[in-house]
Amino acid sequence: MIEKARKHAVRRMEDSFPYAKDKWDKSHATPHFRVGDLALVFTTNFNNVKGCKKLKDSFAGPFVIKALHGENAVEVELSEELSNRHPTFPVSLIKPYKFSDDEEFPLRKKVPQFIPPTESSGIKKITKVLVRVGP
Protein backbone atom coordinates (compact mmCIF):
# COMPACT_ATOMS: atom_id res chain seq x y z
CA MET A 1 0.00 0.00 0.00
CA ILE A 2 2.77 2.44 0.96
CA GLU A 3 4.81 1.46 -2.08
CA LYS A 4 1.82 2.12 -4.36
CA ALA A 5 1.31 5.57 -2.80
CA ARG A 6 5.02 6.37 -3.19
CA LYS A 7 5.00 5.38 -6.88
CA HIS A 8 1.91 7.53 -7.44
CA ALA A 9 3.59 10.52 -5.74
CA VAL A 10 6.78 10.07 -7.78
CA ARG A 11 4.78 9.87 -11.02
CA ARG A 12 2.84 13.04 -10.15
CA MET A 13 6.06 14.90 -9.32
CA GLU A 14 7.63 13.86 -12.62
CA ASP A 15 4.52 15.06 -14.46
CA SER A 16 4.62 18.43 -12.70
CA PHE A 17 8.24 19.28 -13.60
CA PRO A 18 7.68 19.89 -17.36
CA TYR A 19 4.57 21.97 -16.60
CA ALA A 20 6.47 24.13 -14.10
CA LYS A 21 9.37 24.52 -16.53
CA ASP A 22 7.05 25.66 -19.33
CA LYS A 23 5.40 28.22 -17.04
CA TRP A 24 8.78 29.54 -15.87
CA ASP A 25 10.15 29.76 -19.42
CA LYS A 26 7.13 31.77 -20.60
CA SER A 27 7.46 34.36 -17.84
CA HIS A 28 11.28 34.58 -18.00
CA ALA A 29 11.84 34.88 -21.73
CA THR A 30 14.94 36.95 -22.45
CA PRO A 31 14.14 39.93 -24.66
CA HIS A 32 16.21 40.21 -27.81
CA PHE A 33 17.42 43.77 -28.35
CA ARG A 34 18.79 45.31 -31.55
CA VAL A 35 20.75 48.49 -32.10
CA GLY A 36 18.31 51.37 -32.61
CA ASP A 37 15.48 49.89 -30.53
CA LEU A 38 13.92 51.90 -27.72
CA ALA A 39 14.28 50.62 -24.17
CA LEU A 40 13.42 51.62 -20.60
CA VAL A 41 16.06 51.55 -17.84
CA PHE A 42 15.30 50.36 -14.28
CA THR A 43 16.05 53.29 -11.92
CA THR A 44 15.80 51.95 -8.37
CA ASN A 45 19.60 51.89 -8.03
CA PHE A 46 20.04 55.42 -9.37
CA ASN A 47 21.21 57.72 -6.59
CA ASN A 48 21.51 60.84 -8.72
CA VAL A 49 17.78 61.16 -9.47
CA LYS A 50 16.37 63.84 -7.19
CA GLY A 51 13.32 63.33 -5.05
CA CYS A 52 11.86 60.62 -2.91
CA LYS A 53 12.76 57.07 -3.99
CA LYS A 54 9.29 55.88 -3.11
CA LEU A 55 7.60 58.31 -5.50
CA LYS A 56 10.00 58.25 -8.45
CA ASP A 57 9.28 56.23 -11.56
CA SER A 58 10.71 52.73 -11.54
CA PHE A 59 11.75 53.01 -15.20
CA ALA A 60 13.30 55.95 -17.07
CA GLY A 61 13.28 56.44 -20.78
CA PRO A 62 12.75 55.52 -23.53
CA PHE A 63 16.39 55.54 -24.59
CA VAL A 64 17.90 54.43 -27.90
CA ILE A 65 20.11 51.34 -27.77
CA LYS A 66 23.53 52.35 -29.05
CA ALA A 67 25.44 49.05 -28.82
CA LEU A 68 25.15 45.46 -27.62
CA HIS A 69 27.91 43.92 -25.50
CA GLY A 70 27.21 40.22 -25.89
CA GLU A 71 23.82 38.87 -24.84
CA ASN A 72 23.94 40.23 -21.30
CA ALA A 73 24.73 43.95 -21.61
CA VAL A 74 23.23 46.88 -23.51
CA GLU A 75 24.65 50.37 -24.05
CA VAL A 76 22.07 53.16 -24.33
CA GLU A 77 22.19 56.87 -25.14
CA LEU A 78 21.27 58.56 -21.85
CA SER A 79 19.65 61.97 -21.53
CA GLU A 80 21.34 65.05 -20.02
CA GLU A 81 20.02 64.47 -16.50
CA LEU A 82 21.48 60.94 -16.42
CA SER A 83 24.67 61.79 -18.31
CA ASN A 84 26.91 61.12 -15.28
CA ARG A 85 25.74 57.46 -15.20
CA HIS A 86 27.63 54.77 -17.08
CA PRO A 87 25.62 54.05 -20.24
CA THR A 88 26.04 50.24 -20.15
CA PHE A 89 23.42 48.23 -18.27
CA PRO A 90 22.79 44.52 -17.82
CA VAL A 91 19.83 43.09 -19.71
CA SER A 92 18.09 42.38 -16.39
CA LEU A 93 17.75 46.17 -15.83
CA ILE A 94 16.47 46.91 -19.35
CA LYS A 95 12.89 46.54 -20.55
CA PRO A 96 11.74 46.93 -24.17
CA TYR A 97 9.68 50.06 -24.78
CA LYS A 98 6.18 49.41 -26.14
CA PHE A 99 4.46 52.13 -28.10
CA SER A 100 0.90 53.09 -27.23
CA ASP A 101 -0.31 53.24 -30.80
CA ASP A 102 -3.94 53.46 -31.90
CA GLU A 103 -3.31 51.02 -34.75
CA GLU A 104 -1.87 48.39 -32.40
CA PHE A 105 -4.55 48.93 -29.75
CA PRO A 106 -7.80 49.80 -31.57
CA LEU A 107 -10.09 49.00 -28.61
CA ARG A 108 -8.28 51.25 -26.13
CA LYS A 109 -10.41 54.19 -25.05
CA LYS A 110 -9.03 57.61 -25.78
CA VAL A 111 -8.53 59.88 -22.79
CA PRO A 112 -10.52 63.08 -23.23
CA GLN A 113 -8.46 66.24 -23.21
CA PHE A 114 -8.88 68.47 -20.19
CA ILE A 115 -10.22 71.88 -21.16
CA PRO A 116 -9.57 74.47 -18.47
CA PRO A 117 -12.63 76.51 -17.49
CA THR A 118 -12.84 79.99 -18.90
CA GLU A 119 -14.00 83.08 -17.04
CA SER A 120 -17.40 82.98 -18.74
CA SER A 121 -18.15 79.48 -17.43
CA GLY A 122 -17.67 80.50 -13.78
CA ILE A 123 -20.42 80.44 -11.14
CA LYS A 124 -22.86 83.31 -11.61
CA LYS A 125 -24.61 83.24 -8.23
CA ILE A 126 -25.15 81.07 -5.17
CA THR A 127 -28.62 79.54 -5.29
CA LYS A 128 -28.74 77.76 -1.94
CA VAL A 129 -26.75 77.92 1.28
CA LEU A 130 -26.56 74.79 3.42
CA VAL A 131 -26.10 75.34 7.15
CA ARG A 132 -25.08 72.50 9.42
CA VAL A 133 -26.59 72.62 12.90
CA GLY A 134 -25.27 70.51 15.73
CA PRO A 135 -22.27 68.20 16.04
Domain boundaries, the chain: 1-29, 31-107
DSSP state of 47: S
Q: Distance between terminal CA atoms of the chain?
A: 74
**Residue 94, exposed/middle/buried by CB under 10 A (0-12, 13-18, 19+)?**
buried
Question: Which residues, listed in sequence order, are joined to residue 94 by a DSSP beta bridge?
Answer: 41
Do 74 and 88 form a contact (C-beta atoms < 8 A)? yes
Sheet holding 59-69, edge to edge: 88-90, 73-76, 59-69, 38-42, 94-96
Question: What pLDDT, on a 0 to 100 scale, did the predictor assign at position 113?
Answer: 67
Do 128 and 110 form a contact (C-beta atoms < 8 A)? no
- Class of domain 31-107 as given by CATH: mainly beta
Say what the pTM is: 0.57
Average confidence score pLDDT of the chain: 81
Residues 22-70 have pLDDT tens digits of: 999 888 777 788 999 899 999 877 776 677 777 778 888 889 999 999 8
Mean pLDDT over 95-108 rounds to 76
3-state secondary structure of 85: coil
